Structure 1
Amino acid sequence: MAGSKKLGIIAGGGSFPLLVAQNARKQGYRVAAAAFEKETLPEIQAYTDQLVWLKLGQLGRLIRFLHQAGVSHVVFAGPINKPRAFDLRPDFRAIKLLVNLRSRNDNALLSSVADELHREGLEVISAIEFVPELISPAGLQSRRAPSFAEKKDILFAWPIIKQIGSLDIGQCIVVKERAVVAVEAIEGTDRAILRAGELSGSSLTVVKIFKPGQDQRIDLPALGSQTVRTMIQAGATCLAYESGTSLFFDRAEAVSLADEHKICLVGIDPDNPEAVQKL
């Protein structure tokens, strides 16, 4: 791949596409990005050699742009606002893809787009190759370890959210005293946490995982300082995330904020979640 030195980025929201583009350029790649109106930060232009602004659903135009830019490898970086995705105006290429889908949930839809790109000779790779420092670490990150009750909640929630994730519904669950308070769906993690706070007040445990069967190239779970701020607002006291398979943004800031508010942050080994009991 390194010989091609031209990378295509399908750029969603947030700072992640900017980080990927910036690091790719540092590695000697020229960058061609497809950005989306009302989603992608306009600052993306400063980190790209070629840029096109698209509307959601313009799959044919996206593919033409990537071919014209001469890229052979493509990364997905950054989320798309899920409720807004219902307002897409698909072109003919996208309509053909959509009618063959059994589900329009995240993994099904994005995997279908990735497959379509592959049929066009465009290889989709994981954006994590350009930002390995963002891979979420295992073990205790905060000063405070999970309490006995929080450990119980983590182990209670783990198989439940794995099952929910396998149905391509969401990546996050909020529990309290071994009862499910909120499950993430289309609204996203932050809103699910806030809803849990409205329903059940303080002492909430948040568990975020990688969906079983999820395509690691296109839709990695993400957390960071904003997640911790949302937890503070909702009264959540513990965040357990699946290590090695999610992106951890602003880690130093997130840990500092968690310590300030006595929140536990812990990375769970997906092969041995029971190890949390030893912390």
Structure 2
Amino acid sequence: MEFVLLTAGQNNFMVSETETIGLIAGGGQFPLLVAKGAAAQGNHVVVVSFKGHSNDDVHSVVDAWKELKLGQLSKLIDFFHENGVTKVVMAGTINKPKAFDIRPDFRAAKLLFKLATKGDDVLLRAATDEFESEGFKVVGPHVYVPQLLTPAGLLTKRAPSEIEQKDLAFGWKIAHELGRMDIGQCVVVREGVITAVEAIEGTDAAVKRGCTLGGKGCSIVKVFKPGQEDRVDMPSIGLKTVQEMKELGATCLGVEAGKSLFFDLDKSLEFADKNKICIVGLTSDWVQS
């Protein structure tokens, strides 16, 4: 195992162990950011990506990579062992409708057969247990990109109106109840009426459906599922969603603070302020105030 000196103040140094991180990469920019963040901390990074699901840009910033089909669990584990991986990180999106076309290998099929349900949290917990049974330590991607965690409190210039604040509180309650059932992380609310809940379609599609049904003035709430495995499935949001809110006439966004990832936060807040959209990093204290 190698060691790297990291600066900690003007004349002080701390020693950090260099490890090999096995990154399981889905789509979007997140895997690329995690790979860069892990490398910046002095780690070696190897990646497994999936045909039709992953962002291939991540291949250019890692030490080794392998592209597999979704469900090839044995080959994934073998690749990590061959490259001396000690920690496993999962980052990025998987197209859920496409995932129904999965052709699992024997090991993956055996794992799936044991599960009573196939919700996101159940599947990810099972995957985590499987990796740890092989001696890998599963860690959350936010360890390598802590700057992406959503800050708490009012993030935009405009505060929520009285109606929006009530909708955020109501959405917070409903979204957490849905999360307990491992259904989704996001709801759309308009004046105390739930116009959409997120399921397999994902956040952006749920927001579009909810705002189409609810009309202008909808609020969107996205939370961390109670009991959710934060090492492998933190909720995320970004500039694209905020831009779609403007197009759809949505006026307020609440995202659970400290337990969600906010991509392009500065650009999102600038866009929101320009278009009078309110964004809040939600906490239980804020909702109850």
> For this structure pair, what is the TM-score category when the shorter chain's length is used for normalisation?
over 0.9
Q: Is the 8 A contact 1:4 1:72 kept in 2?
A: no
Deviations 1:160-210 (CA, angstroms, capped at 9, x unpaired): 111101100000000111011000000011000100122121000101100
- Name the counterpart of 2:35: 21
Residues 117-266 of structure 1: pairs in structure 2 closer than 5 A: 117-266=131-280
For residues 24 and 244 of structure 2, the distance between their equivalents in structure 1, rounded to whole angstroms, comes to 27
TM-score by length of 2: 0.93
C-alpha spacing 1:60/1:271, structure 2 compared with 1 (3 Å): farther
Runs of 4+ with >3 A deviation: none
Deviations 1:213-266 (CA, angstroms, capped at 9, x unpaired): 100000000011011012112211000111000001000110011111110000
Give the paired residue count.
275
Identify which range, 164-173 or 18-27, moves more after superposition: 18-27
For residues 33 and 263 of structure 2, the distance between their equivalents in structure 1, rounded to whole angstroms, comes to 11
What is the CA-CA distance between 1:102 and the residue it aligns to? 1.4
Unmatched runs of 5 consecutive residues or more in structure 1: none
Equivalent residue for 2:47, pick from 33, 38, 48: 33
Q: Is the 8 A contact 1:194 1:233 kept in 2?
A: no
Is residue 7 of structure 1 aligned with residue 21 of structure 2? yes
What is the CA-CA distance between 1:111 and the residue it aligns to? 1.1
Amino acid at match of 1:203: G
For residues 43 and 174 of structure 1, the distance between their equivalents in structure 2, rounded to whole angstroms, comes to 33
For residues 173 and 120 of structure 2, the distance between their equivalents in structure 1, rounded to whole angstroms, comes to 20
For residues 119 and 73 of structure 2, the distance between their equivalents in structure 1, rounded to whole angstroms, comes to 17
For residues 287 and 217 of structure 2, the distance between their equivalents in structure 1, rounded to whole angstroms, comes to 21
TM-score by length of 1: 0.96
Q: Is the 8 A contact 1:243 1:270 kept in 2?
A: no
Unmatched runs of 5 consecutive residues or more in structure 2: 2-15
Identity %: 48
Q: Is the 8 A contact 1:154 1:240 kept in 2?
A: yes
